[in-house]
Amino acid sequence: MSQSTATYATVILPLALPKPFTYEVPAELRERVQFGVRVEVQFGRTTAAGQGGKLYSALVIEVHQRAPEAYQPKPVLDVLDDEPLIHSAQVQLWQWMARYYCCTLGEVMHAALPSHLKLSGETRLSLHPLHSGDLTGLSDREYLVAEALTIQESITIEDVRDILERKTVYPVIKSLLEKKIVLLQEDLQEKFKPKTVICVELAEPYASDPTKLNQAFELTSRSSKQTTALMAFIQLSKQQSFVLRQEVCELADVENPSVKAIADKGIFRLYEREVSRLGSYEEDTIDADALSPQQEKALGEIRGHFEQKNTVLLHGVTGSGKTKIYMELMSEVIARGGQALYLLPEIALTTQLTARLQRYLGDQLAVYHSKLNNNERVELWNAVLAGKPVVMGARSALLLPFSRLELIIVDEEHDPSFKQNDPAPRYNGRDSAIYLAQLHGAKVLLGTATPSVESYHNALSGKYGLVEMTERFGGVQMPEIVLADARQEMKQRQMQSHFTTQLLNELKAAIERGEQAILFQNRRGYAPTYRCFSCGWHSECIHCDVSLTYHKFSHLLKCHYCGYQSKLPPECPACGNRQLTLYGFGTEKIEDELKIYLPDARIARLDLDTARTRNAHAAIINDFEERRFDILVGTQMVTKGLDFENVGIVGVLSADQLLQFPDFRSAERGFQLMVQVAGRAGRKNKRGKVIIQAMNTAHPVLQEVIANDYKGFFQREIAERRAFRYPPFTRLIRITLKHKAPEVLNAGAEIFTKALHQSLGDWVTGPAAPYISRVRGLYLLDYLIKMERDPRKMEFAKSSIDTATHILQSTEGFSGVRVVVDVDPG
């Protein structure tokens, strides 16, 4: 029977389907269909004649002989790749993520694959702006598509089907993308323009045959400048993976023309190299330096723990020199031919750290950040597939196709941005990294100055190894932290706008000493509320339940949740009063007012408004580093991974605000933020000073921050978590119901609550309106499921949520209620 010899391919479609789908592989494609390649398939309702249904590129995860029982499989239409795009461990990770974080495999794959690798019918193409217009050498089909694009600016893949009068078009598009004749529309958005530097290397035959260098020296012997330049180059090239022309000039004390003369003689080759826009290469000496005794000891302890444990927590105070330890461990992995993954919060990727690592690792390092364009993403994907030794990236880098992963470093492991909140998969990058490491038999090093309560708990309980570094590198002292009592100063009328006199005096003194300062205010814009004094009206977003923030530069009121913006009403829309007032303050106002109190200071601001692009962000940091500004005012952006050697003062403007989030993690987050921002003070030769302004100076967290007492903080916090049954003692799942009509939402919640209660009883709290109860036009209701840490209980809870969702959505009138499930919410 033909049935028994038929071959099937199980694929993941780029859709939120609960399960993978199986297709039949026609005999003529059987050779080419294998694990990890993309195939073109039809999905959706079709007529009896097989018409209709949309076409997708889907990823093959299994080739087998088992016919699906529930449906008649459709055929695979075409095969896009000759080589697999993924490794098998990836599919295991995806499956785990889909199960653990309650989403579909399609959603995980969507997050993992670069856009170029997951084309769909609606994808828009346009002509590559750098294409010459020369269409010779193209196949007939490629030609037709390219020609169409010379007439129309952009076309969809569905259009391509009409043009070619055939269904399977992905192979043609793939080829046009690879030949850089077309590109996807989204590529046309702003791109990161890399900065390049000129580098020097030996030309042939000298490069491959060092014995010929004698001849090179003979060729330069008549110029002493050229001879010293050549010697300088040789010395530098022994120590580093690439040599800048500038370095050669500096070491040899010659000018560019001497280097050029050597190149003209065929000895040097000059080439351009992309560098991060940050980090001054000249100053960076760390990598040649030996480890401090503390680093040596920590490294030994980490290696020791790795013999028995898969995960180690490195708790090292800010400035203790954790990066150097990561580099050492990564070098070992590279030397063995393995791969290492270095994860860190997205924002920290744009900083000096990238430059430092690039310097150290050269081409062995790939950096994966959110601003890569689609071509770069594919290139990086392929490089990792081919075994790139080190990848540095934000959380999604763990979805890349590693094959020989031996080490994962999660730097700033406490950082909330490791959790993806929206869209699915709502995964925690740190926790997923630990699972990924298990799949590869790799080790995980979690590093931070302020461990998450979960990780520290795991370390104390012996699940993770614990290694501590309590001193800063080079004997630099920890900063002195003092509180500025804003309430007291207010009573005594000493406050000057939002600044305590104490803070202003310290700032003045620091600037006079030639030092720089950082001020942290966790809110951007000018003022978060615009209010009517007489009737209490305040400006609110029309789509969200939040007040609009006034932005002075654009003179607009803006919503930070949905982007809605409006002009300032000239009078109160409710009562007509013309005296409307701004309340509160954000970074923009701080910058503005500082100029009044410190007229001579040069001030810059680092927040989402000034640093929307990677370039702008880099430029601000670079300028501050080069001391073109005295004071840097910023949001959370100033707290992460920055290392400025001249910062004498750090100010936190409203500490109370940091401790007031309506969340069980509020104290933890507040503590972490303050210790991290304090860590920016006094990094090199001098003890820094941190001034924390607060109304309630008696808050226990503030006392712990001042004493730099992580352990004290942890003891108090863990006792509360235990008493109130919060993680790490329990597990949480948050469920959010969303709908645009509050009546529908409330009625739907009744149905959902009943279904949930039936199986989960008192594990459930809610429904309750969250702190922000409407976002982007949708009303929200939250549930929290709290249970013991037992995988079976977790499974049970998830299947109960599934059932309740099904009951709700299949009740007439409620199919439109969205149910969002967030496991281990951040």
User: Count of residues binding ligand ADP (CB under 6 A)?
Assistant: 16
Q: Where are the beta strands (DSSP E) in 412-564?
A: 443-448, 465-469, 480-485, 516-520, 529-532, 549-551, 556-558
- Contact call for residue 324 and ligand ADP (CB under 6 A): yes
- Contact call for residue 565 and Zn ion (CB under 5 A): no
- Which of 42, 57, 292, 654: binder of ligand ADP (CB under 6 A)? 292
Residue 793: how many other CB atoms lie within 10 Å: 16
Nearest CB to ligand ADP, comparing residues 415 and 489: 415
- Contact call for residue 320 and ligand ADP (CB under 6 A): yes
- Which of 87, 110, 322, 617: binder of ligand ADP (CB under 6 A)? 322
CA–CA separation, 390 and 750 (whole Å): 51
Nearest CB to ligand ADP, comparing residues 171 and 279: 279
- With H, G, I as helix, E, B as strand and everything else as coil, classify residue 429: helix
Cα end-to-end span (Å), the chain: 55
Nearest distance, CB of residue 577 and Zn ion, angstroms: 5
- Contact call for residue 316 and ligand ADP (CB under 6 A): yes
Angle at 269 between CA 248 and CA 361, to 5 degrees: 65
Contacts of 717 (CB under 8 A, 6+ apart): 453, 667, 668
Residue 428 binds which entry of ligand ADP, Zn ion, none, CB below 5-8 Å type-dependent: none
CA–CA separation, 289 and 276 (whole Å): 22
Rule CB under 6 A: which of 473-512 touch ligand ADP?
473
- Which of 537, 597, 664, 729: binder of Zn ion (CB under 5 A)? 537
Order of all β-strands in the sheet with 565-566: 549-551, 556-558, 565-566
- Which of 36, 114, 321, 767: binder of ligand ADP (CB under 6 A)? 321
Question: 546, 519, 809: which is closest to 648 by C-alpha?
Answer: 519
CA–CA separation, 244 and 282 (whole Å): 10
- Which of 226, 258, 318, 676: binder of ligand ADP (CB under 6 A)? 318
Nearest CB to ligand ADP, comparing residues 145 and 302: 302
Nearest distance, CB of residue 678 and ligand ADP, angstroms: 12
- Contact call for residue 741 and Zn ion (CB under 5 A): no
Nearest CB to ligand ADP, comparing residues 263 and 286: 286
By the 8 A CB rule, do 291 and 364 touch?
no
Token couple for 536: 């209490």
Nearest CB to ligand ADP, comparing residues 305 and 683: 683
- Contact call for residue 708 and ligand ADP (CB under 6 A): no
Candidates 283-291, 556-564, 619-627, 802-810: pick the segment binding Zn ion (CB under 5 A): 556-564
Nearest distance, CB of residue 774 and Zn ion, angstroms: 9
- Burial string for 410-440 (b: 16+ CB within 10 Å, else e) reads bbbbbbbbbbbeeebbbbbbbbbbbbbbbbb
Nearest CB to ligand ADP, comparing residues 287 and 485: 287
- Which of 16, 509, 575, 772: binder of Zn ion (CB under 5 A)? 575
For 393, which DSSP code? E
By the 8 A CB rule, do 4 and 50 touch?
no
Residue 292 binds which entry of Zn ion, ligand ADP, none, CB below 5-8 Å type-dependent: ligand ADP
Q: Per-residue contact track with ligand ADP, 426 to 465, x per CB under 6 A?
A: ----------------------------------------
- Which of 577, 613, 703, 746: binder of Zn ion (CB under 5 A)? 577
- Which of 249, 481, 572, 667: binder of Zn ion (CB under 5 A)? 572
Nearest CB to Zn ion, comparing residues 436 and 572: 572
Single-letter code of the amino acid located at 787:
M
- Contact call for residue 559 and Zn ion (CB under 5 A): yes
Token couple for 708: 């730099």
Token couple for 542: 């029309």
- Contact call for residue 323 and ligand ADP (CB under 6 A): yes
Contacts of 282 (CB under 8 A, 6+ apart): 246, 247, 250
- Contact call for residue 561 and Zn ion (CB under 5 A): yes
* DSSP per-residue string spanning 450-482: S--HHHHHHHHTTSSEEEEE-S-GGGPPPPEEE
Contacts with Zn ion, residue ranges (CB under 5 A): 532, 535, 537, 541, 543-544, 559, 561-562, 564, 572, 574-575, 577
Contacts with ligand ADP, residue ranges (CB under 6 A): 286, 289, 291-292, 295, 316, 318-324, 473, 643, 683
